[in-house]
Structure formats: structure tokens, C-alpha cells
Amino acid sequence: MSIKKIIIKIIGITAEDFENTINVKRHNNATTFKIFKPLSVVLVFIMLIASIVSIVLANSPATITDNFTDTSKIASSANITVSGGVVSLSATGTWTCGDNIVDSRDSKIYTTVLIGTQCWMAQNMNIGTKTAGVNTQGTDCPSAVAIEKYCYSDDEANCTTYGGFYQWNQMMCGSTTEAVQGICPTGWHIPTDAEQYTLENYLKDPGQTCNASRSGAYDCATAGTKLKSGGTSNFNGLLAGFRYTDGSFYYLSSYTNLWSSTQSGTSAWSRYLDSGGTTVSRRLLAKAYGFSVRCLKN
């Protein structure tokens, strides 16, 4: 096929249009300007290039990457990857577990990790406005700033590093339903006691026991080691300490408790990790405690 025929086919003009001059008539009078063949060929060439570019763009989803540190401008985490202060925007929905997510409510960025078939946040939740440890948190979640959080020693910098502490009712946003979204971002939820068991049972060593109904006891070796910061699961369970029921803070760098959404009367189930242990403790504790929260993908 000749070059002329290729051009005619791509642009969609007739052979006669290609050969003829282009007549342009000025409105309101009969003056006719003739653009002769040399200029016509130039115009056809420009149209050809534009057509090729549009075809390439239509078949190649665009990805825009730029330096970007103001995460408050990110309204949704869909099709967004953030790494090293650089945000990449993709035209296709390619998010997979292991990518970062951006909480659209306050623009905070969280890492994620796939463990078995479960997609977990690899950081503790840190949403809301700091309230003093001596205060009782609310139960509503109408907005990010309305949610209340405790920070170890009432220091916001500790929330930045370790995440916030939440009383059970605040974490659940007033609900008592298992697996509720609670304070988690859209598409995520507060894990149930059974889902926490799935995690620890998956990470236990071959041949080790892992009793799902234990209470106050340690089990599931060596899931505790794997779940802590630096462990092979990449769950990165920080030993953030906790807020006691009287408003005091204890055991930073020594222990951590992670709430579940499963309650029993005035108490709820949690998982407990300590600095010297290789196992995980399952504990039923008062909802008035302030513990760390990890979210699980729906």
C-alpha cells in the first residue's frame, strides 16, 4: 500500500480531497482563497501525526508521576501509589495488597501487607483529635476530627510513630456489630476475634498448637515474633504500650494490645504481644482501655 493510501485511510479523507486544493470562502463576500498543494500536504501531515498520537494515547493508559508532598490534595486512594514523596496516578485500577493506601478523611498514608489470604494494614490507625488520657472518648465518628484518640504520654509525636489508642466504643463508632468499619477507612474493617485467630494460626510454626478459644494464655509459637516489628510477616506490630483505664500510660516498647471487634459484655477480645515472647496472648479486657487498632481489608 502506498504512503498516500495509508494517509487517506488513517485520516478518513477521500482521494479527491487529498488531491484537490482547499477552498476557503470568507463569510459575507465571494472572495476565494486557494491553498495550493504544498501547503495542503503540510496540513495533511500534521493531521496524520495528530491521529497517530491520539491512537497511541487511547490504547496506552496514562500514568502521571510527579513530586508531591501535600497529601491533603488527595481525595481518594483509588489508582494512587505513594512512595518516597512521589505520587503516581494511574489510569487503571491496579491497586493490590502491599501498595499504600491514602485515607481520604485526613490524607494519612498507610502501608499494607498480605499475610496468607488476609490483607492487613502494616501500621496502627492514627485518626482523630488527641484527647488527654484522663478523658473518656466519645462514640461517634461524623468526621475525622470528631474521632478522639489517646497518644502515649499525651504526646502527639507518639501518635505519629505508634498510632493512636482507642477505647473500644470509640473504635467501633458506637456499633456493637462484628467486622464493622468503625474508625477504619472505607473498604476496611475492625478485625473480628476469629480473623485475628486466622492471622496467628497462619503464622504459627509447623507442629505448634494454636488454641482459638484460649483466654489469657499464650500460644501459636512463633507467631508473636513474626508479628512484631522486624518480624518476617511484615505486619510490623509496634510495642506501643497502652492507655490504662485510669488514664495512665504504660509499657511503651514492652507490650502492645490490638483490639478485635468481638465483644463479651463490658469487655472485648484483644491480642497481646510482648518484647520477650514468641507467642501471642488472647485476652478479654475492659472496653475502657485504650489499645492500638489494625484494620483488615474487606
User: Is residue 297 predicted with pLDDT exceeding 90?
Assistant: yes
The percent of residues above 90 in pLDDT, for the chain, comes to 68
Residue 100 inside a domain? The answer is no
* Same-domain pairing of 202 and 281: yes
Output the average pLDDT for the chain.
84
Is 107 inside a domain boundary? no
**271, 268, 266: which is closest to 294 by C-alpha?**
271
Q: Is 70 exceeded by the pLDDT of residue 147?
A: yes
Give the number of domains in the chain.
3
pLDDT reading at 278 higher than 80: yes
Question: Same domain for 52 and 140?
Answer: no
Distance, in Å, from the CA atom of 105 to the CA atom of 184, rounded to the nearest integer, reads: 10
Task: Look at residue 136 and tell me whether its pLDDT is greater than 60.
Answer: yes
Give SS3 for 78.
coil
- 177 lies in the same domain as 207: yes
Q: Residue 264 has what pLDDT?
A: 97
Average of pLDDT values for 121-134? 98
| C-alpha cell read off for 42 | 503540510
Residue 195 lies in a domain: yes
Residue-level pLDDT at 8: 56
pLDDT of 48 over the 90 cut: no
**Cβ partners under 8 Å of residue 159, min gap 6:** 126, 130, 149, 151, 152
What mean pLDDT comes out for the span 225-233?
98
187 lies in the same domain as 290: yes
In a domain, 108, yes or no: no
Range of the domain at 90: 63-95
Nearest 5°: phi and psi at 97?
A: -60, 135
Query: Based on the domain organization, do 55 and 79 belong to the same domain?
Result: no
Exposure b/e, 219-229, CB count within 10 A at least 16 = b: bbbbbbbbbbe
275 and 154 in a common domain: yes
**Has residue 101 been placed in a domain?**
no
Question: Where residue 144 falls among pLDDT bands split at 50, 70, 90?
Answer: very high
Q: Decide which of 165 and 19 is more confident.
A: 165
User: Same domain, yes or no, for 150 and 259?
Assistant: yes
Same domain, yes or no, for 7 and 38? yes
Mean pLDDT of the 93-106 span: 95
Residues 16 and 34 in one domain: yes
- In this structure, the answer to whether residues 54 and 76 fall within a common structural domain is no
Average pLDDT of span 198-211: 98
pLDDT at 268: 98
Asked if residue 224 and residue 190 are part of one domain, the reply reads yes
- Is 175 in the same domain as 267? yes
Would you place residue 85 in the very low, low, confident or very high pLDDT band (cuts 50, 70, 90)?
Answer: low
Angle (nearest 5°) at CA 281 between 249 and 260? 75
- Indicate whether 144 belongs to any domain: yes
Q: Residue 96 — left, alpha, or beta (φ > 0 → left; ψ -120 to 50 → alpha)?
A: beta
Report yes or no on 105 lying in a domain.
no
- Type of residue at 250: Y
